[in-house]
Amino acid sequence: MAKAAARRVLPPTIESSRELERLRTVVLPEHNDLAVAVADRIVEIIQRETSAKGRAVLGLATGSTPLGVYEELIRRHQAGDVDFSRVVTFNLDEYYPMAPDSSHSYHRYMWENFFAHVNIAKQNVHIPDGTTPRERVGEACAAYEEAIRIAGGIDFQLLGIGKTGHIGFNEPGSDAASRTRIVTLDTLTRRDAGADFFGVENVPREAITMGVATILDAKEIALMATGEHKAGIVARAVEGDISPDVAATFLQRHGSVSVYLDLAAGADLTRIKTPWVLEGGGVEWSPPVVERSVVWLAERVGKAVLKLSARDYAENHLSPLLARAGSAGPINGQVFNRLREKIRGRAKLPAHERILVFSPHPDDDVISMGGILRKLWENENQIVVAYMTSGNIAVFDHDVTRHLDFVERAAASLGLDAATVQRARSTVNTGMEQKAPGDVDIPVVQNLKKFIRESEAIAALAAVGIPPNAARFLDLPFYQTGEVRKRPLSDGDVAIVLRLFEDVRPDLVFVAGDLSDPHGTHRTCKAAIEQALAAYKAAQRPELWLYRGAWQEWSLTEADVLVPLSQDELHAKILAIFRHQSQKDTAPFPGYDEREFWQRVEARNLETAARADRLGLPEYYAMEAYVIQRL
């Protein structure tokens, strides 16, 4: 499969002083780089330990973060580079109660995503048993600890980190001396898992987990984190004081821990976010770093950029920057002009061009760029909006029932056979009644949910003035599992996207750039686009604009383009979001923000404009932000 068309380069400041970091931390440009780096180390451990003592013992984690590691290990095994026949594994945790064949079970996760594809012996796999009778859970946990001891201890422990800072299911308040045990899950942990279980009410309230002490007994530990939503808790774990409130901070007591992060997850580390406050210095004052530092200073002292004084710089760690320029005025003017030039009203936006908008789900387009879409259409651009996945798993059963009720009532007016409609409805009702939460819908229900999302997408486009023939529904195969877990990206997915490029021949392409959606669909869709672009033959490469909105917004310093919106334009954008009725009021997959999507959008677009205003830039009602990715 073709590689991505472009890769991000680490900013120079990323390797500046690490004086505040209490754990060895590796920040890599891309999500896939982490998987390769961690897989490299695991292969080294397996080869070293099997040669030295006849076996290697791995502690393994579940979730979306380590999937890339398992895929890379499978690839290397199939290439003959690593042998798992003498590997013993112990998984961190399992929900309780939980049947091993449940779609939510970590037993099933591990066999589907890793064990079934390598030559590991079944008897060498250990995963806490979620079916253990409650009166025997304590005994089973003690036996789990004993099995680890008999195996010689864990040589390499792989970890993720939860929103509460948990490692395994060691929630806030966990003791550093804790061992494998049953725990009550934190409310935030259950809320984050709610999307997997089709509602927080379906998430088990308990789990069996290795304890903090069990984890710290491992000879070597690797913690992985990806995505913007992990940045805050990662910084707390790496730079904060040890505290039972954040179990990951206990890792600071271990002598051999490596934290592997992508740029998004490492964004709040001091050496990346504000390297100028570090004693080590060595900041490379490139224009983007100067911009970030001056905006930080302006917000810190509560002044507009052009009003910053030499004293402000001197008293807030920015004397080296001031010394380079000699006075505050030139720096202030440079940054103010950079920020002001980012603002593009309709007259400064593309006109009479071919524009291709990729929307991972059927609502990401209007959620993230509903304002600019209308402006681009008014500028007489040729617009195609490509909805990459059906989004059907994000439709509640009651929405299907409501639409079927309409069809049944309208059957006579539409000339439909009433008996046929009733039989179809009976089939659908039976399928939904027999399904447990999280089970795969029968095919006809999957299709009905897909059609609901498609009709909503068409209605939303109309709300921003774009006709139905602008929509393309790609229905990429990787998404077509009927459940939360998706297939890996395939050549077939990329081929569909490539054919669209060849058909549209776009001058400008919009791509979802917020990669913190709960199940990684945005990330997978972006990878499909990048790989298709790598194979796309064109005399001139299209310009790539990245949007956000559903989960985060680009900051003023990250953004390359700021698009102002009037009050009426923001209102029209919100109305377009309302057209996605199946996602209104209570979306099945709200992610890490409890607000409805339109509320998030309104708050972020208003705050982007308000923040610009506080910096002394022209005052607008609201703003959308975009990053231009250089190919």
Q: What is the DSSP string of 260-322?
A: EEETTTTTTSHHHH-GGGSTT------HHHHHHHHHHHHHHHT--GGG--HHHHHTTT-HHHH
Question: On the CB side of 58, how many CA atoms lie within 13 Å of its CA?
Answer: 28
State the catalytic residue, choosing from 49, 145, 171, 624: 171
Domain 346-629, second-level architecture: 3-Layer(aba) Sandwich (3.40)
Report the C-alpha gap between 23 and 181 in whole angstroms.
Answer: 27
Q: Round to whole Å and give the CA distance between 210 and 93.
A: 6
pLDDT value of residue 17: 58
Angstrom distance (rounded) from CA 608 to CA 602: 10
Going by C-beta distance under 8 Å and a sequence separation of 6 or more, which residues neighbour residue 111? none
- Predicted confidence at residue 1, as pLDDT, reads 37
**Which residues, at least 6 apart from 122, have a Cβ–Cβ distance to it below 8 Å?**
none
The whole-number pLDDT of residue 594 equals 74
Positions of the chain with pLDDT lower than 70, given as ranges = 1-17, 280-281, 515-519, 587-592, 631
Annotated domain spans of the chain:
24-224+247-257, 275-341, 346-629
pLDDT computed for residue 202 by the predictor: 87
pLDDT at 71: 94
- Do the beta carbons of residue 284 and residue 9 sit within 8 Å? no
* pLDDT of amino acid 515: 67
| Distance in angstroms (rounded) separating the CA atoms of residues 113 and 488 | 10
Encoding tokens for residue 171?
A: 């929630």
> What is the Cα 451 distance to its own chain's centre?
26
CB-based burial, 420-437: b 16+ in 10 Å, e otherwise = ebeebbeebeebbeeeee
Q: What is the DSSP letter of 170?
A: B
- Please give the Cα distance from 358 to 504 (Å, whole number): 12
CA distance linking residue 548 with residue 273, whole number of Å:
20
| Same fold yes or no, 24-224+247-257 and 346-629 | yes
* pLDDT given at position 2: 38
DSSP assignment letter at 616: T
* Residues 553, 383: Cα–Cα separation, whole Å: 23
Provide the token pair at 254.
């271990």
Cis omega (within 30 of 0) for bond into 29: no
171 belongs to the catalytic site: yes
Query: Looking at residue 7, what is its pLDDT?
Result: 46
Select from 404, 384, 361, 337 the least CA-distant residue to 518. 361
Q: Does domain 24-224+247-257 have CATH number 3.40.50.1360?
A: yes
pTM (whole model) above 0.75: yes
Paired tokens of 425: 């409805």
Of 131, 110, 133, residue with least CA distance to 122: 110
DSSP 439: P
Bridge partners (DSSP) listed for residue 387 = 359, 473
476 phi and psi, to 5 degrees?
-60, 140
